[in-house]
Chain A
């Protein structure tokens, strides 16, 4: 479901010496740099960190760039090399696709399925 961000502006902000590499990280645990190192990397790139977790053997961070874009970056835990950056904002927005209006903000579509036109009630357990 991911789309790789091709925004050169963001990649250009990554410090020299970092390049694209294979997707998954295969690093022994004792060679991992601590999360604090990821925080420093984010600060150097001008990212405001929202979340740091481990996925596919790599660090995965959710952050916001100086320009306000929400991104998800995969980082090698040993070298702190940025492997991949995904744009969490809608890639399609620039091509006219927008996220839909959430429930309650507008009436359901008049597709003939909703007998009374009332919005659905939702419960998640």
Chain B
């Protein structure tokens, strides 16, 4: 696992050169009224080759549940270093999570894809519920999720 994380770190460093320029981006995830406990959501990015590039936000603070966020967990091993300082509470059914951050310019129109894995206690896991290419043209256009996410959009 350690070697995998080292590889991930090196890959990230090699594939995200010079991401100094940034722009404010708002990521809005609105959950459906699925009628269960709060959802764990993780928002992360893969590069043009499909390799994990990094995490933007983890909604849910108990590491014991992270295995339910299957694709993210496989990419990271659940390493808390991937989400230290970017972790908050889970999100209730019907609620809307709005994340505002300065996102590196080079992520747009370069093959990067934003993913969301979702999970709810006692309900079916939903990895890769959202997979949305980061493009300038895609901003402001909501997309539907499959199970727990009513819609997701990013604005800049």
A17 interfacial contact with B, CB 8 Å: no
A101 near B54 with CB under 8 A, answer no
Taking the closest CB of chain A, its distance from the CB of B21, in whole angstroms, is: 7
Query: Considering the chains assembled together, what is the distance between the CA atoms of A122 and B40 in angstroms?
Result: 15
Closest Cβ of chain A to B36, distance in Å, is: 11
Assess whether B88 is in contact with A102, with CB atoms less than 8 Å apart. Answer: yes
Residues of A with C-beta under 8 A to B116: none
Q: Which residue of B lies closest to A88 (CB)?
A: B62
A-B pairs with CB below 8 Å: how many? 136
Contact A90 to B54, CB < 8 A, known contacts A118-B101, A120-B101, A121-B101: no
- Tell me how many residues of A have a C-beta within 8 Å of chain B: 34
Task: Convert A21-48 into 0s and 1s, putting 1 for each residue whose CB lies closer than 8 angstroms to a CB of B.
Answer: 0000000000000000000000000000
Q: A100-B58, A100-B63, A124-B97 are in contact. Are A1 and B80 (CB under 8 A)?
A: no
Task: Assess the B85–A122 pair: CB atoms within 8 A.
Answer: no
Closest-by-CB residue of B relative to A113 is B54
B107 contacts the other chain (CB 8 A): yes
Q: Is the CB of B61 within 8 A of A102?
A: yes
Report chain A residues within 8 Å CB of B85.
100-109, 119
Minimal beta-carbon separation of B127 from chain A (angstroms): 13
- Using C-beta atoms within 8 Å of the partner chain, give the interface range for chain B: 35 or more
A109 and B54 within 8 A (CB)? yes
Residues of A within 8 A of B19 (CB): 112-113, 115
User: Is B131 interfacial (CB-CB < 8 Å)?
Assistant: no
Give the residues in chain A near B110, CB-CB below 8 Å: none
Could you say which of A7-15, A61-69, A77-85, A91-99 contacts chain B?
A91-99
Task: Given A90-B63, A100-B58, A125-B96, answer yes or no on A111-B87 (Cβ-Cβ < 8 Å).
Answer: no
Which of B58, B81, B87 gathers the greatest number of chain A CB atoms within 10 Å?
B87
Which residues of B have CB within 8 Å of A115? 19-23, 102-105
Query: In whole angstroms, what is the CA distance A107 to B84 when docked?
Result: 8
> Chain B residue with minimal CB distance to A118?
B102
A2 contacts the other chain (Cβ, under 8 Å)? Answer: yes
- A3–B40 CA distance with the chains assembled, in angstroms: 16
Please tell me which one of the listed residues A88, A109, A111, A116 contacts residue B102 in the complex, with CB atoms under 8 A apart. Answer: A116
A3 and B57 CA atoms in complex are apart in Å by 24
Q: Is the CB of B104 within 8 A of A124?
A: no
9 sample A-B contacts, Cβ–Cβ < 8 Å, listed by A number: A1-B119, A2-B122, A92-B64, A103-B88, A104-B85, A106-B84, A111-B16, A113-B107, A125-B96
